[in-house]
Amino acid sequence: MIKILTDNWSTIITGFEFTILSSIVGLLGSLILGTVFALMEMAPNKFLKFIGTAFVEFFRNIPLLVITLFFYVVVSHAVKINGFWAGTIALILYTSSFVAECIRGGVNSVDPGQMEGARSNGLTYTQAMIHIVLPQGFKLAIPSLGNQFINLVKNSSILSFVAGLDLMYQANVISGANLDPFNTYIVIGIFYLLLTGPLSVFMNHLENRLR
């Protein structure tokens, strides 16, 4: 196992970097898009509500692989897009539907008095939502958002389907060359645990503190 590590160090580190890059871009993208769709889902406007709900239900109920391959195979005919970005965009769309559900859950558990109080002080719905209710809801949603982030890191292995150069892809490259899948996958597994392990310990800690 040590030999696999030393022989393929730069390959593994490249994969590690791409996995981290994809996860961070995915996190930021899905937080922004997820918040937008959560707000749409809760909007008093019927049309916005419909669009938001349709988007969330659609992406929550189809496999990430379908979205990824759609971007890689179909969209790439129209727009030049490489495997890394096809996978990352798919990750953003897929994860944002889960993020939207987390944020909606958080906002729903904010005391309704907050909204009423803000409205009776003369704030519009949008102002009250953005300045008063959403920040509180966001804080309440942090534990479930953390779990989504862990899932996001794991799901980034989807990039290996579309030559996204991530850890999983490099694992297949390495095991294809050294014909030792057993030890190679264990080494790669350890690298994934280096990312997800501390995150899940941190999330447990946070959940216990909030409880």
Partner 1 sequence: MIYASAFNSVNMHYLMGGLGITIAVSIISIVISFIVGTILGVILFEEVPYFSRTVQFIVNTIRNLPLLLLIFFTYFAMPKLGVELNAFTATVFAMSVFESTMVSQIIRGGLLSVGAGQIEGALSTGMTKFQTLWYILLPQALKNSIPPLISQFISLVKDTSLATAIVLTEMMFRSQVIYGQNPNYMIPMFAIVTALYFVVNYSLSLLSKWFERRLATS
Site residues (vs partner 1, CB under 8 A): 57-58, 60-66, 69-70, 73-74, 150, 154-158, 160-161, 168, 171-172, 175, 181-182, 185, 188-189, 192-193, 196-197, 200
CB of 4 to partner 1, least distance (A): 13
Geometric angle at alpha carbon 149, from 19 and 100, rounded to 5°:
125
**Nearer to partner 1 by C-beta: 32 or 73?**
73
d(CA 86, CA 92): 10
Q: In the 8-state DSSP scheme, what is residue 62?
A: S
Q: Largest Cα–Cα distance of the chain, in whole Å?
A: 69
CB of 200 to partner 1, least distance (A): 6
**Nearer to partner 1 by C-beta: 128 or 148?**
148
- Count of positions (residues) in the chain: 211
**Nearer to partner 1 by C-beta: 63 or 135?**
63
Q: Is 82 helix (H, G, I), strand (E, B) or coil?
A: coil
**Nearer to partner 1 by C-beta: 114 or 196?**
196
Tell me which residue of 186, 152, 156, 151 sits closest to 169, measured CA to CA.
156
Q: In the 8-state DSSP scheme, what is residue 159?
A: G
CB of 171 to partner 1, least distance (A): 7
CB of 116 to partner 1, least distance (A): 23
